[in-house]
Structure 1
Amino acid sequence: MVLGTTGFLVTGPSGSGKSALALACISEIRRRGRFAALIADDRVDLTLANGRIVARCPPAIRGLIEIRGSGIVEVETLSACVLDWAILPVRAPFDPRLAPEQEELHLEVGRSLPMLRLPVETLLSPVDALAALLPGKPGL
Structure 2
Amino acid sequence: MNTAPANIHGTAITVDGIGLLYLGPSGGGKSGLAFDCLAEARLRQLPGALVADDRVLILQDEDRIIASCPDAIRGLIELRYSGIVSVDHVAEAEIHFAVLPVPSNEGDRLPPDNEKANLAPGIRLPAIRVPLWSRFPLSLIFARIQTLKGNG
Same fold (TM over 0.5): yes
Corresponding residue of 1:131: 142
| 1:44 pairs with one of 56, 59, 82 | 56
- Secondary structure (helix, strand or coil) at the match of 2:67 reads strand
Distance 1:7 1:75 in 2: 16
The total of aligned residue pairs comes to 136
Higher strand share: 2
Distance 1:98 1:106 in 2: 19
Distance 1:128 1:47 in 2: 27
Distance 2:64 2:18 in 1: 13
Q: CA RMSD in A?
A: 1.5
Gaps of 5+ in 2: 1-12
Retained in 2: the 8 A contact 1:40–1:62?
yes
Retained in 2: the 8 A contact 1:17–1:120?
yes
Displacement of 1:25 = 0.4
Gaps of 5+ in 1: none
The residue type paired with residue 132 of structure 1 is: A
Displacement of 1:99 = 1.0
Structure 2 residue 60 is matched with structure 1 residue 58: no
**Segments of 4+ in structure 1 off by > 4 A?**
none
Retained in 2: the 8 A contact 1:7–1:85?
yes
